[in-house]
Homo-oligomer: A and B are copies of this chain.
Amino acid sequence: MKEINIAILGFGVVANGVKKILDENYNIINKRLKRITGEDYSIKIKKILIRDIGKYHSNLQGIMTEDIGNILEDKEIDIVCELIGGDTVSVDYIKKAMENNKHIVTANKMALFTKNEELFKIASDNDVCLKYEAAVAGAIPIIKVAEESLISDEIEEVQGIFNGSTNYILSKIEEGLNYHEAMELAYNKGYLEADPSSDIQGYDSMYKLGILGNLIYGEFPKAKDIERIGIDKISKWDIEYANKNSKKIKLIGRIKNKDNAISYSVKPEIVDMENPLYNIDGALNGILLKCKNAGDIFLSGPGAGSRETAVSVIGDIVSIVREGY
């Protein structure tokens, strides 16, 4: 029996989902891993880093710690899941964990976008994995598909709806709400942050697009390389006009590879019925990969959510285990 010990940094929405699914499906995961690898594994959460241990139920306190040192110095911890988010303390912890020879699974799109080159260099220097399926499009396995399934192909164009909050708002405006009513509904549903500017102005989509561009084309785009226009520039009239012509307006993240010149944009675009993104309404995400050999590969699913995103986090954990590290 090989024991794989995990530490989770942060205990917010996604981390809660990871803990619940690992608890509930402990036997299922191990059984499937055995079927694939022929080996017995036991994947367990050994420590969870939180800020205030007093806030949690006593039955969790045994594995909780307020001190990152307890995780970094624990030689039994193989994989660290960074689920704090943002690009401050989280980045520091990711780096230190990799320098302590721990593999990283993260959902942190902001850190991956802003510190991309630096983080991948540290991973490579320390011969550890840096996995991030959950950072782009939640439950949709776009990273694994682009990196592994399409490894022999050339992806000529990416078109995607990478932000469920703004897609929800646009869908509600289509249904007849005005911009402020749609925003309020999105808040009440928990789809928008207290400061919604990252979603509304397209930064969130930009992070995800940049991460995907790096994966596919092996370069690190910066914010200045990505044309970015938010949904606050769309009027209700624009949407009505598009709808009258059997089209919709969507916030589309697009990467184009033309003669090896890679261009990036995040902006509202008019989408017609032939495009599978036309049918991606509400808080869903969808991604169309236009491939030279495989043709048009399309994926859609929940772009956020506790358990939804957690499935991608655990998929990464298991990939690290399978790859034999």
B-contacting residues of A (Cβ < 8 Å)? 17, 21-22, 25, 28-29, 32-33, 35-36, 38, 124, 127, 133, 139-141, 144-145, 147-154, 218, 276, 279, 291, 293-302, 305, 307-308, 310-312, 314-315, 318-319, 322-324
How far does the alpha carbon of A293 sit from the alpha carbon of B18 in the complex, in Å?
A: 10
* Contact of A296 with B301 in the complex, beta carbons under 8 Å: yes
Chain B residues near A29 (CB, 8 Å)?
Answer: 151-152
Q: How far does the alpha carbon of A149 sit from the alpha carbon of B29 in the complex, in Å?
A: 12
Closest to A129 in B: B36
A154: B residues at CB distance < 8 A = 25, 28
Given contacts A133-B149, A145-B144, A153-B311, contact A299 B302 (CB under 8 A): no
A301 to B311, Cβ gap below 8 A? no
Answer whether A151 and B279 are a contact pair too, CB < 8 Å, given A38-B124, A38-B127, A298-B299. Answer: no
Contacts of A140 in B (CB 8 A): 297
Q: Known pairs A28-B152, A139-B294. 10 more at Cβ < 8 A?
A: A17-B293, A25-B153, A36-B147, A133-B149, A140-B297, A148-B319, A293-B307, A295-B301, A295-B305, A297-B299
Alpha-carbon distance A154/B24, docked complex (angstroms): 11
Tell me the complex Cα distance, A145–B127, Å: 26
* Chain B proximity of A130: nearest CB distance (Å): 11
Closest to A32 in B: B151
A-B residue pairs, 4 tightest by C-beta: A141-B149, A152-B314, A293-B307, A139-B294
Is B21 a contact of A151 with CB atoms below 8 Å?
A: no
A-B contact pairs, 6 of them (CB 8 A): A25-B154, A149-B312, A151-B318, A294-B301, A296-B301, A296-B302
Q: Please give, as numbers and ranges, the residues of chain B lying within 8 Å of A148 by CB-CB distance.
A: 141, 144, 315, 318-319, 322
Q: Do residues B308 and A295 form an inter-chain contact, with CB atoms below 8 A?
A: yes
Assess the B323–A307 pair: CB atoms within 8 A: no
A312 CB contacts on chain B under 8 angstroms: 149, 294
> Which residue from B276, B293, B297, B315 sits with its C-beta under 8 Å from A151?
B315
Min C-beta distance of A155 to chain B, whole Å: 11
A160 to chain B, nearest CB (A): 14
Decide: A311 near B25, CB < 8 A? Known: A294-B301, A299-B299: no
Residues A311 and B294 in contact in the complex (CB < 8 Å), given A151-B318, A152-B25, A152-B28: yes
Please state if B299 and A295 are interface contacts (CB–CB under 8 Å). Answer: no
**A294: shortest Cβ distance to chain B, in Å?**
4
